[in-house]
Amino acid sequence: MPLHIQSDVIIIGAGPAACSIAASLSANGYRVLLIDRNTNRSSVGENLASTAKPYFPILKIDEERLDNEHLPIYQMGSLWGEGLPVWKDSIYNTNGFGWHLDREIFEKELLDNVIANGAAYFSYATISSLSVEPCTVSFSHQDKDYIAGGRFIVDCTGRNRFLQKQLAIKTIKYDTIIAANAYVNDVNFSDTIIEATENGWWYSASIPGSKKIISYYTNSKSEYLKANRGPQSFLDLFNKTQFVKTKHPHLEAANLSTITYRFANSEKSEKITGNNWLCAGDSAAAFDPISSQGISTAISMGITAGEAIHQKLWKGTNYHVREYESEYDELFSNYLVKRQQLYSMVKSFPESHFWLSNSFHPSTINHKTLNIK
């Protein structure tokens, strides 16, 4: 017989979006249940933008601890098209510097705070069925079966979009960017830099644990991804860079880890709210990492989602849930325009499919031409 759990809000996933919603709801006295399957994914050297700072008190994030456990980003260098590299100092940001995160530590801290505030959490759980009318989720955890009942369901499963798949809601894709990531043990180099090259762009930074990450962002149909994708072909391309290469002059294939790949395209769910459900974070909309806004948006919109759910459960009105959807639509439209402006700045490769395809104005994107499914 399955065990029954009753809560107010069931959240699927336990990443930054889920923890932000849980923190907001727990502050208003709701019983929150988080169910996560703990997808095994490698860290890709994500930055937490300083725009997330105003939300730290709700999430109970201690900034001093953040400085000690993660790596502050004081400046960033870029060679974005023609000219010389440009350095931008974090001192000119209104909220100061951001951090290269150790995702495991960061997420554990978020989750510990949420659990301390009363949320129930099931890790390594497998969901077998789900319904939004009424809100129930059946899942198994450590050889036991559970049925959770609630008043509202939230999908925070990142790009997996578990709930939308169940509800047959489409995802709209705006590009096909994939990140190829390699780690290097190189304690001597700590700059954060990006560089535009013919068929994609490079990112290199220190990550916590005396390691560096080097990532190459390119279209999924690029020659590099079609051909041999081992460390040597990664290094051959890397050696054609001008700026990033100068920071790793003696890099050899043997120093590179296995190359890992992650989808990094911009995409948005066609519908992100319903009568008793909503989605937040990457599950609602996923951003190109060039924007460094995935985690901070998961946090800020997670807190907005928590407030909208509170209004729905307290007053029975859907008004704030609809407002939340409109806010996401506007945020994502603005993001697409900024992204297009950023890619259009690179004029050095006028024949390159990568730069042409990514600098289309969002309203004119032709999904067939881009080969986006």
Tell me which residues touch ligand FAD (CB under 6 A): 12-18, 35-39, 44, 46-47, 49, 127, 156-158, 160, 162, 179, 262, 264, 281-283, 289, 292-296, 298
Indicate the residue among 105 and 314 with the shorter CB distance to ligand FAD.
105
Indicate the residue among 265 and 357 with the shorter CB distance to ligand FAD.
265
- Closest to 288 (Cα-Cα) out of 270, 263, 269, 271: 263
CB 317 → ligand FAD: shortest distance, Å?
Answer: 26
CB 183 → ligand FAD: shortest distance, Å?
Answer: 13
CB 259 → ligand FAD: shortest distance, Å?
Answer: 12
> What φ, ψ does residue 216 adopt, rounded to 5°?
-120, 120
Indicate the residue among 41 and 361 with the shorter CB distance to ligand FAD.
41
> What φ, ψ does residue 255 adopt, rounded to 5°?
-85, -10
Which uninterrupted H or E stretch holds 7? none
CB 199 → ligand FAD: shortest distance, Å?
Answer: 17
- What is the CA 281 to chain-centroid distance, rounded? 7
> Collapsing DSSP states into helix, strand and coil, what is residue 90?
helix
CB 184 → ligand FAD: shortest distance, Å?
Answer: 16
Indicate the residue among 138 and 348 with the shorter CB distance to ligand FAD.
138
Residues 6+ apart with CB under 8 A from 228: none
Indicate the residue among 22 and 365 with the shorter CB distance to ligand FAD.
22
DSSP per-residue codes, 187-208:
TT---EEEEEETTEEEEEEEET
Q: What is the DSSP letter of 341?
A: H
Indicate the residue among 280 and 365 with the shorter CB distance to ligand FAD.
280
CB 328 → ligand FAD: shortest distance, Å?
Answer: 12
CB 85 → ligand FAD: shortest distance, Å?
Answer: 20
CA dihedral 40, 46, 51, 54 (to 10 degrees): 40
Q: What is the DSSP letter of 50?
A: G
> What φ, ψ does residue 97 adopt, rounded to 5°?
-85, 155
Indicate the residue among 40 and 363 with the shorter CB distance to ligand FAD.
40
DSSP per-residue codes, 214-276:
EEEEEETTSHHHHS--SHHHHHHHHTT-SSHHHHSTT--GGGB---EEEE---EEES--B-SS
Indicate the residue among 46 and 109 with the shorter CB distance to ligand FAD.
46
CB 294 → ligand FAD: shortest distance, Å?
Answer: 2
